[in-house]
Amino acid sequence: MSMRRKWAAVTTALSLCAAVWITPGGAAAGSPAYELTASRTSLNIGQELRVTITGEQLVDLYGYDLELHFDTSRLEYIGMSTGITGGFSITPDPNVSPPRLIDEKLAQGDILFGFTKTGDASGQSGQATLGTVIFKAKSAGQATVTLGRVKLIPADSKAPAVTASPELEVRASVSGSGETDGDPTGGGDTGGGSSGGNAGQQPNAAALTEVEVKDGKASVRLPESASTAIVPFDKVSGHELEVQAGQLAMKVKPELLAALAARANDLKGATVEVKMVPVTRLAAPAPTAGAGAKIKIAGVVYDLQVTLRSADGQAFDAGIVSGGIQLTFTYDASTVDESLLGVYYFNEATKAWAYVGGTLEPASGQMTVTLEHLSRYALLELDKTYADVPAEHWAYRTLKVLSARHVVNGVTETEFKPNGKTTRAEFAAMLVRSLELAPSAAPSPFTDIAASAWYASDVTAAYQAGIVQGVSLNEFAPDAPMTREQMAALLVRAYKQNGGQATGAGGGGLLAFTDGSEVSRWAQAEVSEAIALGLMKGKGAMQFDPGADAVRAETAQAILNLLKK
């Protein structure tokens, strides 16, 4: 029978064959066509059934999503895979807590599945296995699986998506003998269909992986088809647990594992589950940026979860991890501007991506960040420009980099005001963000800083770190302009607080400037040190101009100099 069967022929075939083809909407030859096949038409309780979705006459396919429905009274969902390589898929997982929308749908018998390639990968044409679902028969009777909808996304973003509602169906008869499979591949009566593609793989299904324990670290590397590691607690207890999956590595500190263990009554037979589920661009919330900014996902979004599960099924999730987890993203430097990268998480309350930070390691093409809580995380590239800082401006690149790191902000969304003055509060806040210090909730030690001021927690954090001091015992003068010698002093203190080693230049560095004697006595050593470290330079004509107000472009450049140390 022809691949493009008429609906009347399809109806007849449903009860006779486990393979059905249809083209969307009765389209002409050349349109995508779909086949639904089952690995068998009859099986016993406990045996596996594989249902495969195949697409033909595909053109420039980059991503897709599809919907299936199955009889939950007859079948138990085990896992699902795609036959297309070079990308990531999202599948339902009945073990996720709290459940996502796709997991809630699964309980109702609806399977929502998505796949996307990544980066500049070319689209796929011709025939491909779009998905293979693995079920286990759980009760006697007629089991039905239906393909309800398919949406194809082309690589060309200007080309329209193609959506079809094939309503294809396959059936299998389940007997109540309770026999299990003797054939681990799910063989037997194929009913004329083909399992196709990677029928044996179960992506995003739990992977019981071997753990290598060496030098105080327990290491797990997940296969490409898996996104969950389940390891015995007694094997990783007291060790740092590192799990590698795709472009992401997660390190779980032993202190966090111990804190989870303290919540369980019985650790005998307990396991640690680490979920690093890739979320496709079809399902991930798209990042948005304001005027003058472009933002994109640089790789893959991951939904993260760490759970201790006791032998009796009790689950203890790590929600707030307080620095107990470290993530390392690997990126392709040829496809991104690595200086503009940062780690973000998706804030469910605001429905927006929030900046976390990250330490860039260009030599290895990686960015590392320490987490305070678990959520969906991604590596994003933010390219921000300002209308009053053209490309030829000496601070153009500096402002791009610091804006991407969320260290500097414009006076408006589109203007930076590079020659404007920097206040003492603004510079203190910039230093706190640069060093990724946590804002302080403690009361301010200065009487001229209101608790409601936007900079209050940052100034307090900088004071507690020994970076800033007041202009007097009780006053900080937050709105006063930052002078160049004050900026030099704060830069050197921040450098030392971040682990930097002093050069011991003393005040000798000031001899190179004709106005070196004008530097305040209290600031002489730190100004000299800032110059020796390359944190600051003179203003030309052999002058340092210590009492001049530091303008916004200058302070931004000084911060970038600090970050490079």
Of 383, 406, 433, which closes a domain?
383
Output 103 or 255, whichever has higher pLDDT: 255
CB 92 within 8 A of CB 111: yes
- Classify the C-alpha dihedral 250-254-260-261 as positive or negative: positive
Same domain, 366 and 478: no
Of 357, 383, 409, which closes a domain?
383
Element (H, E) at 494: helix 484-497
Helix (H, G, I), strand (E, B) or coil at 234: helix
Q: What angle in degrees, to the nearest 10, is found between the helix axes of 484-497 and 424-434?
A: 20
Of 383, 414, 446, which closes a domain?
383
Same domain, 359 and 391: no
Same domain, 145 and 230: no
- Closest among 303, 305, 306, 304 to 236, alpha carbons compared: 306
Give the domain extent around 92: 7-175
Q: What is the pLDDT of residue 104?
A: 87
Does a cis peptide bond (omega within 30 degrees of 0) precede residue 154? no
For residue 15, what is the domain's CATH number? 2.60.40.680
User: Would you say residue 275 lies in a domain?
Assistant: yes
CB neighbours (10 Å) of residue 24? 17
Q: Tens of pLDDT along 304-334?
A: 999 998 888 788 989 889 899 999 999 999 9
Total count of domains within the chain:
3
Element (H, E) at 333: none
Q: What is the pLDDT of residue 72?
A: 92
User: Would you say residue 1 lies in a domain?
Assistant: no
Structure tokens at 245: 């999956």
Q: What is the pLDDT of residue 96?
A: 76
Helix (H, G, I), strand (E, B) or coil at 431: helix
Same domain, 361 and 438: no
Q: What is the pLDDT of residue 117?
A: 87
Q: What is the pLDDT of residue 285?
A: 66
β-bridge partners, 370: 326
Which letter does DSSP use for residue 210 in this model? Answer: -
Q: Tens of pLDDT along 66-103?
A: 999 999 999 999 999 888 888 888 888 888 777 888 88
- Closest among 426, 496, 411, 484 to 458, alpha carbons compared: 426
User: Would you say residue 199 lies in a domain?
Assistant: no
Same domain, 377 and 404: no
Q: What is the pLDDT of residue 454?
A: 96
Same domain, 111 and 17: yes
Mean per-residue pLDDT for 142-148? Answer: 89
**pLDDT(508) > 80:** no
Q: Tens of pLDDT along 152-207?
A: 999 887 888 888 887 788 888 887 654 444 333 333 333 333 223 333 333 333 44
Q: What is the pLDDT of residue 280?
A: 58
User: Would you say residue 257 lies in a domain?
Assistant: yes
**pLDDT(3) > 70:** no
Helix (H, G, I), strand (E, B) or coil at 539: coil
User: Would you say residue 264 lies in a domain?
Assistant: yes
Under 8 Å CB-to-CB from 373, ≥6 apart: which residues? 319, 320, 321, 345
Query: pLDDT band for position 353 (50/70/90)?
Result: very high
Q: What is the pLDDT of residue 200?
A: 30
Mean pLDDT computed over every residue of the chain: 84
Under 8 Å CB-to-CB from 383, ≥6 apart: which residues? 293, 294, 295, 337, 340, 400, 404
Same domain, 335 and 399: no
Q: Tens of pLDDT along 445-503?
A: 999 999 999 999 999 999 999 999 999 999 999 999 999 999 999 999 999 999 998 88
